[in-house]
Amino acid sequence: MSITVDPNAAPTAPPVRGRGRVLPAPVTPAEMVLILVLVVLWAALAFATPAFLSAGSIIPLLVEVAPVALIGIGMTFVIIAGGIDVSVGGAIMVCSVVTAKLMRDQGLPLVLCVVVAIATGAVLGLMNGLLIAYGRVHAIIITFGTANVFLFIGLQIFASQPVSGMPSTLAWFGRGVDGQTLGVPHSFAITVLLAAAAWWYLRHTAGGRHFLGIGGDAVAARLAGIRVQRRVLLTYVITGVLIGLASIFTLAKGTSSLDQSVGNGQELAVIAAVVIGGTSIMGGRGSVLGTLLGALLVQTVKSGVTQLGWPSQLSDLFVGIFIVLAVGTDLLRQRARRAV
């Protein structure tokens, strides 16, 4: 059998592939596991204590989740770019006490309170970013040092006295009726919207992929033309801005008095949420959706332990177990990839 080829026929063009890159699934297997764990945990708590699913329990839970998840968005950017920030607690203290004193003494309205808090956080984040990006010192060393500096500044502003008599200016972000719409706290709704925007940015833009590339291999990213120092600086400024907004949420959910314990241990809760959410502590891979789920899981554990009347130390134990499992899974995954 012979095949006749027409010499005058136009050559057949090879199939053209789309230029769009292949994206991972919108929800990763690790995030699906977190969702499943949350569903099982919520069902178990609802069975053990029916009050858990009441509005009086869920709304405070979401209000507590909001600042941790919000800062976690910035921390996700920091960690996927190969950094870390342990100065979060001190930065929250400074943003909170500055805003609280101005709100009380100068009568700042809601919008100006938010602007002051965000601006203060941005300045603190800029300090971290400049020292880390251009000082070429490891992030944990810099942020451990600035954590102590921020704590000193905050305590000096407190002047050994709590800030009392604060007005209800920030009630729109609080846990009361003014802080809700259709039963959803405004602080949590804002956090979800910002998390969605950050998720889209990391997934669908070149700038988002640059952060991932820097965390994967900073030298290769620099050779590829990515301005590594500027990107690293930006991660800390973003985190500072979100810390400022989170301090507003923190002030709004409290009482009319602010003491020196504000922000204490918050950096541990944020890092726990990010790591449990699937962000690799080694950098180069992360998920904002996972961070939101991780923050929700951490706070669910704390709320559940409280409602069941168990010792509060158990919540730290359970969160620690989740962290070890998340980090262990990440290390095993990376080892499997290197073995291929």
For position 223, what pLDDT does the model report?
A: 92
Statement: residue 10 has pLDDT above 50: no
* Rounded Cα distance, 246 and 65, in Å: 10
Q: Is 159 left (phi over 0), alpha (psi -120 to 50) or beta?
A: left
Q: Which amino acid is at 188?
A: F
For position 12, what pLDDT does the model report?
A: 45
* Rounded Cα distance, 281 and 169, in Å: 38
User: Span 168-193, mean pLDDT?
Assistant: 93
8-17, 161-170, 239-248: least confidently modelled range: 8-17
For position 189, what pLDDT does the model report?
A: 97
Phi and psi at residue 181, to the nearest 5°: -135, 120
Which of 120, 100, 103 shows the shortest CA–CA distance to 241? 120
Q: Which amino acid is at 334?
A: Q
For position 335, what pLDDT does the model report?
A: 78
* Rounded Cα distance, 172 and 186, in Å: 7
pLDDT tens digits, one per residue of 71-103: 999 999 999 999 999 999 999 999 999 999 999
Q: How many CB atoms lie within 10 A of CB 176?
A: 14
Percent of the chain with pLDDT strictly greater than 70? 92
For position 28, what pLDDT does the model report?
A: 84
Q: How many CB atoms lie within 10 A of CB 229?
A: 17
Domains and CATH numbers, the chain: 54-338 (1.10.3470)
Task: Reduce the DSSP state of residue 163 to 3 states and report it.
Answer: strand
For position 18, what pLDDT does the model report?
A: 40
* Rounded Cα distance, 203 and 200, in Å: 5
Q: 82 with 214: CB under 8 angstroms?
A: yes
User: Span 304-314, mean pLDDT?
Assistant: 90
| Residue in this structure with the two tokens 């009441």, named with its chain if needed | 54
For position 14, what pLDDT does the model report?
A: 44
* Rounded Cα distance, 262 and 67, in Å: 12
- When pLDDT is cut at 50, 70 and 90, the band that residue 302 belongs to is very high
pLDDT tens digits, one per residue of 19-48: 455 566 778 888 899 999 999 999 999 999
* Rounded Cα distance, 74 and 274, in Å: 10
Mean confidence (pLDDT) of the chain = 89
The pTM score is 0.90
User: Span 255-260, mean pLDDT?
Assistant: 86
Q: Which of 12-21, 26-35, 131-140 shows the highest mean pLDDT?
A: 131-140
* Rounded Cα distance, 150 and 85, in Å: 13
User: Span 243-260, mean pLDDT?
Assistant: 91
